[in-house]
Amino acid sequence: MKVNALASKTKGASLENFEYEIKEHSSFDCLIQVETCGICHSDIHMIDNDWGMSRYPLVPGHEIVGRVVDIGNEVQHLKIGDRVGVGWQASACLECEECLNGKENLCNKNVGVIVGRHGGFAKYVQVDSRFAFKIPDSIESNKASPLMCAGITVYSALRYAGMSSGQHIGIIGIGGLGHLALQFAQKLGNKVTVFTTSKDKAEFALNLGASDVVLNPTPKDKLNSKLNIIINTVPADLDWKYFINQLKPDGTLTFVGVPPKPISLPIGMLLDQRKRIMASPIGGRAMIQEMLKLAAEHEIFPVTEIFDKEEANLAIEKVRNNTIRYRAVLDFRK
Ligand code: NAP
Ligand code: ZN
């Protein structure tokens, strides 16, 4: 079967129409007709080969929501017509200790939807059905798409950093990931402080439930050292010592955005008050389902700008220059 898609044909290139052949599906696969697909900053990193693992032509797109139109004969939990979401992960071994403990995202055989295979900027995508999740009816497709990567990434990172409720959480960067992190933290009963470099986002963050906002943080700011957890969603080199100093004793700085340069700091900054630095990739299958349920219950939805597929390059440009508010979503239904 031939699939119409959008691809970057070389490193950093604009998207162009591209057609490829989908192979016969295996017994656990499902074929999804794409309705919507979010644009995550990781798609841009992949287009630009920032991580040295891109293969061209590259069809980006790993915040996929669509309808199941075909399934393999071993698929039990889905039927034709179901509306499902697929995130970064396309498959895993499902046999190793991590997979058996519900941490499929930590499996060393995990495969990314857009790594060495084609993603969701397309009319159809084929994946292992065990990585396709039913979307609750109350979440419309354009709102569900960003939950599949941005949503699960921040939810899982905050949970593994120890977020429960009654805490004070810091969020660095109010982009696709950051504005969902703010909602998960606040709607689950935490106070939230936002750090942003964009003036207009300060008011937006307060309206979305933040208790306070630090615009353009600098070392001259008053030190509050009040935060239990800080999540960094920014892919840039910031003053990490400043953020460690904002943590309470036993506080955790967790990274989901990856700064280009290594971090260098005196261990004493962590040791004196038993602080931690950690980093977190996407989320496992059980946590994806928990996250979707919570999002539906608490109405944790992204703020989206919707683009037709013909406008995909414009949307990518807006993500690149940080003028998107707050997640670009491509609609493939027309
Ligand atoms: P995004 O929508 O572009 O948001 C990134 C935000 O970072 C921007 O909105 C901006 O926030 C801030 N920012 C950007 N450049 C900056 C700079 N030079 N200095 C200071 N702040 C800057 O991106 P996203 O889709 O949320 O993704 C964020 C990062 O997470 C990406 O690197 C992506 O690859 C990564 N990611 C990781 C995982 C994982 O599994 N760990 C999953 C998905 C994405 P303000 O305007 O508020 O300052
Ligand atoms: Zn992503």
Q: Which ligand sits closest to the CA of 239?
A: 1
What one-letter code names the amino acid at 90?
A
User: Looking at residue 81, what is its pLDDT?
Assistant: 98
pLDDT for the residue numbered 220? 78
Task: Tell me which residue has its CA closest to atom 13 in ligand 1.
Answer: 234
Give the residue ranges of the chain where pLDDT is below 50.
none
DSSP string for 103-153: -GGG-TT-EETTSSS--SSBSEEEEEGGG-EEPPTTS-HHHHHHIIIIIHH
Q: What's the N-to-C CA distance of the chain in angstroms?
A: 20
Q: What's the pLDDT at 21?
A: 96
Residues 273 and 240: their CA atoms lie apart, in Å, by 16
Measured CA to CA, the distance from residue 179 to residue 182 in angstroms comes to 5
- Report the pLDDT value the prediction gives residue 302, as an integer from 0 to 100: 98
Atom of ligand 1 nearest to the CA of 258: 32
48-53 contacts at long range (C-beta below 8 A, 24 or more positions apart): 48/11, 48/12, 49/11, 49/12, 53/115, 53/116
Give the total residue count for the chain: 334
For residue 280 the two structure tokens come to: 């977190």
Which residue, chain included where needed, has tokens 């058996």?
Answer: 100
Identify the residue whose C-alpha is closest to ligand 1 atom 11.
173
Q: How far apart are CA 237 and CA 160, in angstroms?
A: 23
- Within 6 Å (CB) of ligand 1, which residues are found? 40-42, 45, 149-150, 153, 173-178, 196-198, 201, 233-236, 256-258, 280-282, 319, 322
Looking at residue 23, what is its pLDDT?
84
**Whole-number Å distance between alpha carbons of 214 and 314:** 30
Ligand 2 centroid to residue 88 C-alpha, Å: 6
As a whole number of angstroms, the distance between CA 275 and CA 35 comes to 43
**pLDDT for res 222:** 74
Q: How far apart are CA 122 and CA 31, in angstroms?
A: 12
Check if the beta carbon of residue 88 is closer than 8 Å to that of residue 112: yes
Of the candidates 330, 331, 279, 334, which has an alpha carbon nearest to the alpha carbon of residue 40? 330
* Cβ proximity of 54 and 11 under 8 Å: yes
Site to substitute for ligand 1 among 37, 40, 218, 287, most atoms within 8 A of C-beta? 40
How far is Cα 5 from Cα 17, in angstroms, rounded to an integer? 6
Nearest CA, atom 19, ligand 1: 236
